[in-house]
Amino acid sequence: MYSSITAGVAGTGFIGPVHVEGLRRLGVRVKGISSATLALAEQARQQLNLEHAYANFEEMLEDDELNVIHLAVPNVLHYPMVKQVLAAGKHVMCEKPLAMTSEQGEELV
């Protein structure tokens, strides 16, 4: 049974699938996944039995069904991607660190 939350996961490396599994165990619908390429996202979509592979992160941001996006991407991408998710009006769950500098982290907070 799913909760009323629908999530997307950005990142298909080791931690992305871990987030998918954790969300599922909590009863959260994980609609799809994005990666550096559509081919990687599609491969992960099939392996994880998800509904959708996003062609890119921007496509994921435009999905009105997603309430939250989990970022499981390289650290250097955290700050700009968190900013994009927040600007899109969605919740964000970010792997640590939140940003690369204390100034970036303060801005996000």
* b/e sequence 41-69, b meaning 16+ C-beta within 10 Å: bbebbeebebebbbeebebbbebeebbbb
Residue 2 has pLDDT above 90, yes or no: no
What pLDDT score was predicted for residue 3?
72
Give the separation between CA 8 and CA 5, rounded to whole angstroms: 10
Give the separation between CA 6 and CA 1, rounded to whole angstroms: 12
Nearest-CA neighbor of 12 among 53, 61, 51?
53
Summarised one tens digit per residue, pLDDT across range 12-65 is 999 999 999 999 999 999 999 999 999 999 999 999 999 999 999 999 999 999
32 and 60 in contact (C-beta within 8 Å)? yes
DSSP SS3 for 61: helix
Summarised one tens digit per residue, pLDDT across range 60-97 is 999 999 999 999 999 999 999 999 999 999 999 998 99
Residue 1 has pLDDT above 90, yes or no: no
